[in-house]
């Protein structure tokens, strides 16, 4: 792979090699991406395999996806790269070999097919353990003992359609493995474990719709609602209806249930087998806080009961924040996903994610203009006089032309309008020197923004808006929205130590400088106590149980330390 980063601005799939050189472990561990949403229709493609004995492309016979599906075969597609460690680990499990030998063309139970694609710059050299066209070393001999087709997309005649195929497969990381049912729907496979051939094959009966029923329809299962709605919500969902029956689908009745509301919609048209239509459903409305669920069901097809029992029902849950339930909010990114009631609107093909306990916006791999927005819960600032938002930031530019952006915006009208309170990009955002490596956070800087202009508001949303300039990664952590004045944040200062922490009655303090005063703030930023003429201890017995911030003033300035009162 050539080192010039700007060569790949319009070729997203090529940037993945740079991504995985530094983040290979993410592919199977920290990030659980959904490439194509489950139930997506995969477009048709035609590819050619390589001759495993001499490296020549076999161009006198092609492999066509829809021809296989039309024959009733389920197709397992593995998109890997020869330099990719997680790909090699899965390759060695023998799962695809087991599917091919037990259920493939040479078996007595031929109902499945395997297509293994090298999605990057793999060639015969790298497939046999050498280096690929970009000079990257292979993980091993990928052809040894393999009977299923090996399809290097980088080589002609596949190369012409390489980017189209990878784009249609929604590829964001290696390896990506799909089970494509005869009705063209794709489902990503769980590749954790040893030989899973029998388990994967068993999923065909429970996941793929039957293709021999006369009157049979299924629902596409892509998400059709937003994860979170603020204030009174009202949206009109749409769902994909597919004919999997042998007779034309000319009518269908769907039922939508939301709480006690039950409504039906009648669809008419003319769909041949496997064709789809988008059906607009009745509006979902409500004014209740908390998790809400709605369900869509197929009531009838062609005037009679659906003959199939697969994918006939689709349910979703979303968070409704109609009224503010809290005055403060924190987000520490301690789980694998953003914890509710926070929500992440990711428009980057899953390049914004949690890694090592922080949120990373991977602008190193996101095309120029790519966006992701992180939303706070709906908050009540009615009792706030000095609200603020603080967070830890880490960002290094790729070069002097990199201007990745982070903005913080606030809305007091349920997201209709936004006021920008933090707007930095490029050099102004950077916390360290430029680097052309795929930057992993090292030293964070704490940012604190005054939100006092929004004091007294009953419905407040804080949004972190990321915009890529195809530069380098923006990392954030430890978000805290409170009634604490901006700037009062814990900071590292080894000249002052406090113990025990948590404390019950007495808190010991050692300092290299004389302490003039200690101010104690609660989690809402309220000053609850002050100490002067401090020696080596302060009495905290009368403080209520909870978390406090000590603002310690010395002759050199102020230091803030967080304590827990038992």
The pLDDT tens digits of the residues spanning 114-147 come to: 999 999 999 999 999 999 998 999 999 999 999 9
User: For the purposes of burial, counting CB atoms within 10 Å of the CB of 495, is it exposed (0-12), middle (13-18) or buried (19 or more)?
Assistant: exposed
> Lowest mean pLDDT: which of 8-22, 171-185, 234-248, 428-442?
8-22
Q: What pLDDT score does 491 carry? A: 57
Q: What pLDDT score does 161 carry? A: 95
Tell me: pLDDT of 484 over 80: no
Residue partners of 309: CB distance under 8 A and separation at least 6: none
Q: What pLDDT score does 527 carry? A: 79
Residue partners of 5: CB distance under 8 A and separation at least 6: 18, 398, 436, 470
Q: What pLDDT score does 349 carry? A: 66
Q: What pLDDT score does 330 carry? A: 93
Tell me: pLDDT of 22 over 70: no
> Lowest mean pLDDT: which of 13-27, 185-199, 358-372, 462-476?
13-27
Tell me: pLDDT of 307 over 80: yes
Torsion angle of C-alpha atoms 143, 145, 147, 148, degrees rounded to 10: -50
Q: What pLDDT score does 15 carry? A: 41
Q: What pLDDT score does 34 carry? A: 40
Strands 419-425 and 284-286: unpaired
Tell me: pLDDT of 275 over 70: yes
Average pLDDT estimate for 292-313: 95
The pLDDT tens digits for 405-428 are 999 999 999 999 999 999 999 999
Position 8 confidence tier, pLDDT thresholds 50, 70, 90: very low
> Lowest mean pLDDT: which of 9-18, 396-405, 545-554?
9-18
Position 525 confidence tier, pLDDT thresholds 50, 70, 90: low
Average pLDDT estimate for 451-471: 95
Tell me: pLDDT of 445 over 60: yes
Q: What pLDDT score does 385 carry? A: 87
d(CA 141, CA 129): 4
Higher per-residue pLDDT: 117 or 543: 117
Q: Cα dist. 473→410, 477, 480 in Å?
A: 24, 13, 21
Q: What pLDDT score does 93 carry? A: 95
Average pLDDT estimate for 279-299: 94
Q: Cα dist. 504→344, 542, 562 in Å?
A: 39, 9, 14
What is the residue-averaged pLDDT of the chain? Answer: 88
Q: What is the DSSP string of 218-240?
A: EE--S--S-SEEESSEEE--EEE
Average pLDDT estimate for 357-376: 91
Tell me: pLDDT of 37 over 60: yes
Q: What pLDDT score does 424 carry? A: 95
3-state secondary structure of 249: strand
Position 31 confidence tier, pLDDT thresholds 50, 70, 90: very low
> Lowest mean pLDDT: which of 13-17, 356-360, 479-483?
13-17
Position 9 confidence tier, pLDDT thresholds 50, 70, 90: very low
d(CA 146, CA 370): 39
Q: What pLDDT score does 18 carry? A: 41
Q: What pLDDT score does 12 carry? A: 35
Average pLDDT estimate for 173-196: 90
The pLDDT tens digits for 544-557 are 887 788 888 887 77
Average pLDDT estimate for 487-504: 74
Average pLDDT estimate for 82-92: 94
Under 8 Å between Cβ of 26 and 39:
no
The pLDDT tens digits for 316-347 are 999 999 999 899 999 999 998 898 889 998 88
Position 222 confidence tier, pLDDT thresholds 50, 70, 90: confident
E strand or H helix at 243: strand 238-243
Average pLDDT estimate for 165-194: 89
- Does the reported pTM lie above 0.75? no
Position 488 confidence tier, pLDDT thresholds 50, 70, 90: low
Tell me: pLDDT of 200 over 70: yes
The pLDDT tens digits for 201-212 are 999 999 999 989
Residue partners of 202: CB distance under 8 A and separation at least 6: none
Tell me: pLDDT of 393 over 90: yes
Average pLDDT estimate for 356-375: 91
Q: What pLDDT score does 19 carry? A: 42
Kindly list the structural domains of the chain, giving each domain's residue range(s) and its CATH number in brackets, ordered by start. Answer: 5-207 (3.40.30.10), 217-321 (2.60.40.10), 329-482 (2.60.120.200), 496-565 (2.60.40.3080)
> Phi/psi of residue 265, each to 5°?
-135, 135
User: For the purposes of burial, counting CB atoms within 10 Å of the CB of 427, is it exposed (0-12), middle (13-18) or buried (19 or more)?
Assistant: exposed
Q: For residue 549, which of 564, 536, 534 has the smallest C-alpha distance?
A: 564
């Amino acid at each position: 792979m050539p080192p010039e980063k700007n060569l790949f601005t319009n070729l997203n799939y090529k940037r993945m090699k740079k991504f995985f050189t530094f983040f290979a472990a993410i592919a199977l561990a920290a990030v659980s991406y959904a490439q194509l949403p489950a139930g997506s229709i995969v477009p048709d493609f035609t590819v050619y395999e390589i001759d495993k004995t001499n490296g020549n492309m076999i161009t006198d016979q092609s492999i066509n996806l829809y021809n296989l599906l039309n024959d009733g075969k389920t197709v397992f597609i593995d998109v890997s790269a020869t330099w990719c460690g997680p790909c090699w680990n899965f390759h060695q499990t023998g799962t695809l070999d087991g599917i091919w030998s037990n259920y493939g063309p040479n078996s007595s139970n031929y109902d499945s097919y395997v297509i293994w694609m090298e999605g990057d710059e793999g060639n015969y050299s790298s497939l046999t353990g050498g280096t690929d066209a970009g000079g990257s070393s292979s993980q091993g001999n990928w052809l040894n003992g393999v009977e299923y087709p090996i399809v290097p997309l980088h080589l002609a005649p596949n190369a012409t359609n390489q980017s189209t195929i990878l784009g249609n497969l929604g590829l964001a990381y290696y390896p990506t493995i799909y089970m494509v049912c005869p009705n063209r729907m794709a489902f990503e496979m769980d590749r954790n474990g040893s030989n899973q051939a029998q388990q994967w094959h068993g999923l065909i009966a429970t996941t793929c719709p039957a293709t021999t029923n006369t009157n049979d329809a299924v629902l596409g299962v892509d998400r059709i609602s937003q994860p979170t709605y603020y204030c009174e919500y009202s949206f009109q969902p749409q769902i994909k209806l597919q004919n999997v029956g042998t007779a034309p689908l000319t009518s269908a009745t769907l039922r939508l249930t939301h709480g006690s509301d039950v409504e039906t919609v009648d669809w008419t048209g003319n769909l041949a087998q496997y064709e789809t239509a988008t059906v607009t459903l009745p509006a979902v409305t409500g004014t209740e806080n908390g998790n809400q669920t709605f369900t869509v069901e197929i009531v009838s097809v062609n005037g009679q009961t659906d003959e199939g029992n697969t994918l006939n029902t689709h349910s979703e849950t979303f968070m409704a924040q109609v009224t503010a339930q809290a005055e403060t909010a924190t987000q520490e990114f301690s789980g694998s996903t953003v914890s509710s009631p926070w929500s992440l609107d990711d428009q980057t093909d899953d390049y914004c994610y949690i890694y090592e306990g922080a949120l990373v916006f991977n602008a190193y791999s996101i095309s120029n203009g790519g966006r992701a927005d992180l939303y706070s819960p709906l908050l009540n600032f009615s009792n706030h006089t000095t609200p603020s938002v603080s967070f830890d930031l880490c960002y290094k530019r790729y070069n002097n032309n990199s201007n990745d952006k982070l903005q913080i915006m606030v809305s007091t009208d349920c997201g209709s309008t936004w006021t920008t309170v933090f707007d930095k990009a490029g050099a102004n955002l950077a916390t360290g020197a430029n680097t052309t490596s795929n930057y992993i956070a090292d030293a964070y800087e704490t940012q604190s923004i005054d939100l006092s202009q929004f004091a007294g508001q009953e419905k407040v949303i804080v949004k972190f808006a990321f915009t890529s300039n195809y530069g380098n990664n923006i990392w954030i952590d430890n978000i805290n929205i409170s009634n604490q004045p901006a700037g009062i944040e814990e900071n590292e200062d080894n000249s002052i130590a406090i113990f025990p922490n948590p404390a019950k009655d007495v808190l010991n303090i050692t300092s290299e400088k004389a302490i003039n005063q200690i101010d104690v703030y609660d989690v809402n930023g309220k000053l609850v106590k002050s100490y002067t003429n401090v020696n080596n201890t302060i009495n905290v017995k009368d403080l209520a149980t909870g978390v406090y911030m000590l603002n310690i003033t010395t002759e050199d300035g102020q230091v803030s330390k967080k304590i827990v009162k038992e």
